[in-house]
Amino acid sequence: MAVQYPNPQIEPVVDYVASCKLPTPFGVFTMHGFEEQDSRREHVVLTMGDVADGLPVLARLHSECLTGDALFSLRCDCGFQLEAALDAIAKEGRGALLYLRQEGRGIGLINKIRAYKLQDGGADTVEANEQLGFPADMRDFRVARHMLDALNIKSVRVMTNNPRKLETLKNAGIDVVERVPLMVGRNPHNDHYLDTKAAKLGHMLFS
């Protein structure tokens, strides 16, 4: 298999690298770079305001989606959620967006394209992953805990529509105090995708 996946038995070790200012259409953020020692995967956190004051931080833990985030795909709601999360943080004046390099729920970009081809043939998003020999979701959020610790973020109010994700984050050692809905991006191209996430993955979505 070309893509190397994290070993769930081995705790990831993440190094802080550097920070810089990042002007965006939503406001000026500070971007913090991190690198995993073993895999050399690179991740970033965008912060705004004082996130190290001990109070819960409005946060989005966003897994990379090149097609949705950068190529404007309408097959998913990822790009819409990314923009909505940045906008929500900017309006609050304080928050953090963790951008985690685990494309396609952890299966990688090329396998995600293969999964899309299976979906073109009638499979849903869960069935496509399983037909390729993967679980429905392979993401590992333990790396996020180390990034939050490095930024002295003690607890988070997570922007997500996925209640199961909250349990995953808590199991990773992240103190989640609230789920904040992020209802954006439904369109005719992703109706089936979103309905599958609700029916098979437990997402709480609007109709």
Which residues line the annotated binding site?
60-65, 76, 78, 81, 103-105, 125, 160, 165
Burial pattern 20-31, b for ≥16 Cβ within 10 A else e, equals eeeeeebeebbb
- Catalytic annotation, residues: 137, 139
Number of Cβ atoms within 10 Å of the Cβ of 56:
16
Q: What stretch of H or E contains 67?
A: helix 66-69
132/137 Cα distance (integer angstroms): 12
Q: What stretch of H or E contains 127?
A: helix 125-131
Residue numbers in the known binding site for GTP are 60-64, 81, 103-105, 125, 160, 165
Phi, psi of 10 (to 5 degrees): -110, 125
Token pair belonging to 30? 């500070």
Residue numbers in the known binding site for Zn(2+) are 65, 76, 78
